[in-house]
A and B are shown apart, each in its own frame.
Chain A
Amino acid sequence: MSDLSIGQQQYLLQHRKHKRIVRISRILILLSFLFIWEFTANVGIIDSFIFSSPSKIALCFWGMVLDQSIFLHIGITLYETIVSFLLVIAISILVAVALWFSSKLSEILDPYLVVLNSLPKSALAPLLIVWLGATKTTIIVAGMSVAIFGSILSLYTSFTTVDPGKIKLIYTLGGTRFHALIKVVIPSSIPAIISNMKVNIGLCLVGVIIGEFLAAREGLGYLIIYSSQVFKMDWLLMSICLLCIMAMTLYAFINALEKWCSKRF
């Protein structure tokens, strides 16, 4: 480190300072938010029956940890989200590949995909309950329905915008369209597939919660609906906090995957 010039050292110092300010500010915002919430609820500025308070939420969470019921709810929601996410990724890659292979097929199906993509998917949830019953399958399908059409469209778009020169290269080397797919289109679409995953994990969670609102007996979505009906605001806000944490964790996983991939590709 000693052989760095003074200019470089100063630059690094500035950079570290900037990073520190960002990190501390972020934590301060969270802490002051929690503090103001707790304080105003305690002195009675806001009604803690309606707005709850951080300490009540924490106590409520601890209580559910002790009787272990919270793990069931978190586990179910997580399971449904991950299953629907994986299915969305697998199916949308397969469909996008099929559309890429046959431009005729993609031209034929285009209006259907556009309509299905712009349809508000929550409208489908009651239909799914009638068709599939109030089961986990329904909720997984609800989660998929939110993400899948947009996912297909964005993957297909990224497949078709691959550098035509690279595809021509494959043909000049005596390759077929299949080679173009596995040697060029898929590898060069890896960044697009991952950014697509980032969007989809959030959307699947949205879909799963919608599904649980309507057709579940466990899961965080069920907990939210149930607690609003019996006016247990501690439960409701705790569930929302847990959803925040879950969304962040899932997103962080995909970020880590992206980092790993960008090293390899």
Chain B
Amino acid sequence: MEQVLELKHIHYAYHTLEGETPTLTDISFALNKGEFVSIVGPSGCGKSTLLSLIAGLITPEKGLIKINGKYLRESTTNVGYMLQHDELFEWRTIYNNVILGLEVQHMLTARTRQRAHELLDLYGLKQFESSRPSELSGGMRQRAALIRTLVLEPDLLLLDEPFSALDYQTRLNVGDDIGQIIRQENKSALLVTHDLSEAISLADRVIILTGRPASIKQTIPLIFNLESDTPLNRRNAPEFKTYFNLIWKELNTNE
């Protein structure tokens, strides 16, 4: 299987004048093409730090990260990153928000513009192209944020609790929605969340981290026997509870 992402023995620590806070110790895992992996762990354990490392926003103190077989520094692969808030700019229309990444990377061509229009159309935002973000509901905003990431055609998507700012009902729907879009576009994705049911309903595999400094405690593959394997169907499947309890127990036992 082709590996999109590979992490080997990653260490990271935050430094302040008061001292050093080790955040990640010896994190190693890999992500296959088209695979969806969730990372769960106690709050403040360094889950988001992990995503920042993979996105290249910060560099690890030790260890190496490979994307599509190339070291992160040399990699030209686009890594899409979805943040906790949609961060749509109020002074731009939805369409102009969606093409922000293209503008920044000087990739604005007739073809990519076309692609942006197509994606907006495909995911039901066509009529809002020239609306301001404030005119959209939370779910539609999150979708626009996802399209902003997808037009850059990333091979790997990093999701940093992208649904946590939404209310519960919207969250279930958007989670379902975004999960299916990612499957449909056949992207590999890494989701960081503290919501166990979200992790289970979306992923192929759940990685459980320990408290700070975080290391990998367990990896649990998720297998559902469902005809149509959507996040909402998963929530009703009998396996769901089993996995939930298993992960819950893992998170709450201290070795």
Q: Which residues of A pack against B, CB within 8 Å?
A: 163, 165-166, 168-175, 179, 183-184, 187-188, 190, 264-265
Contacts and interface: CB of A to CB of B under 8 A. Distances in A.
Contact of B152 (A169, A173, A184, A264): A173
B104 A170 contact: yes
Interface string B78-115: 10110111010111000000001101110000000000
A184 B89 contact: yes
Contact of B104 (A165, A175, A190, A264): A175
B226 interface: no
A146 to B, nearest CB: 31
Nearest to A187: B91
Interface in B123-173: 148, 152
Given A165-B83, A170-B104, A179-B104, A187 B89 contact: yes
B57 interface: yes
A165 B91 contact: no
Contact of A183 (B84, B103, B152): B103
Interface of B: 55, 57, 78, 80-81, 83-85, 87, 89-91, 100-101, 103-105, 148, 152
9 contacts: A165-B85, A166-B89, A168-B87, A172-B55, A173-B105, A174-B104, A175-B104, A188-B89, A264-B91
A187 B84 CA distance: 22
Contacts of A187: 89, 91
Contacts of A168: 57, 83, 87
A169 B57 contact: no
Residue among A166, A173, A190, A265 with most chain B CB within 10 A:
A173
A175 B87 CA distance: 15
Given A168-B57, A188-B91, A183 B104 contact: yes
B79 to A, nearest CB: 8
Given A174-B78, A183-B100, A169 B87 contact: yes
Contacts of A184: 89
Contacts of A173: 81, 100-101, 104-105, 148, 152
A175 B89 CA distance: 15
Contact of A265 (B91, B100, B101, B105): B91
A177 to B, nearest CB: 12
A182 to B, nearest CB: 10
Nearest to A173: B101
B87 A165 contact: yes
A188 B83 CA distance: 19
A172 B89 CA distance: 15
Residue among A174, A187, A265 with most chain B CB within 10 A:
A174
Residue among B87, B103, B104 with most chain A CB within 10 A:
B104
B81 A172 contact: yes
A259 to B, nearest CB: 16
Contacts of B90: 265
Contacts of B100: 173, 183
B93 to A, nearest CB: 11
B87 A171 contact: no
